[in-house]
Amino acid sequence: MKKIILIAGPSGTGKTTISDYLTEKYNIPRVLTHTTRPMRLGEKQNVSYHFETDETFSKLHFFEHIRYGSYQYGSSREALNLAWKKSNLVSLIVDIKGVYTYVKQLGDKVYFLYVTTSTKDELRERLLKRGDDPAKIQERLSGSELNLLPADLKNYAHVLVNDDLTQTKKALDALVAKLRG
């Protein structure tokens, strides 16, 4: 059966690192989404995201989309189907709102991985190290942009505490073995 690992959690918890590991070690493709935010150092066009301008973004048809501050993000069914053509198991990084949409639409095809860390200070340090703008870090680590796990998703989520990357990789190895059966 086709499955999707939905990856959500606060900025800096390691969602991209986890998705990249799944691709590099297990050939699990990431469903690419679109954004109008500027590319970060090390990111690549059509690999990290489809980077768009406001104009090109407005012409696309999305399955679901969100706005974070002045930036827009959106995902399409086409991208999901494209990834599923390559592999029965794929991953997708979305915010919590996106999780609700995908769970509603895809039901038991979804494995929801909620990534977190033991402390918020760790996130701030990682984001500074990643080169994020301190003002943006403050926005991302407060309010609705923080992507806390809502009470009604607590029993449904598989929580992964990504403090130690070696432990995280072990947990992911076990997860892939389980999902691939």
According to DSSP, the residues that pair with 50 across neighbouring strands are: 34
Q: Which does 165 bind (CB under 5 to 8 A by kind): ligand GDP, ligand ADP, none?
A: ligand ADP
Question: For residue 47, with 0-12 CB atoms within 10 Å meaning exposed, 13-18 middle and 19 or more buried, which class applies?
Answer: exposed
Q: Which does 98 bind (CB under 5 to 8 A by kind): ligand ADP, ligand GDP, none?
A: ligand GDP
| 9 versus 26: smaller Cβ distance to ligand GDP | 9
Q: Which does 97 bind (CB under 5 to 8 A by kind): ligand GDP, ligand ADP, none?
A: ligand GDP
**Selection from 23, 32, 18 nearest residue 160 by Cα:** 18
Tell me the closest approach of the beta carbon of residue 10 to ligand GDP, in angstroms: 7
| 78 versus 128: smaller Cβ distance to ligand ADP | 128
- In single-letter form, the type of residue at position 12 comes to G
Write out the binding residues for ligand ADP, residues 100-129 only, by CB under 6 A: 126, 129
The distance of Cα 42 from the centroid of its chain, to the nearest Å, equals 17
Q: Among 4, 6, 8, 12, which residue sits at the site for ligand ADP (rule: CB under 6 A)?
A: 12
Contact 140, 146 (CB under 8 A): yes
Under the binding rule (CB under 6 A), the answer on residue 23 touching ligand ADP is no
- In single-letter form, the type of residue at position 75 comes to S
Q: Among 3, 4, 6, 11, which residue sits at the site for ligand ADP (rule: CB under 6 A)?
A: 11
Measured in degrees and rounded to the nearest 5, phi and psi for residue 110 equal -95, 130
- In single-letter form, the type of residue at position 105 comes to Q
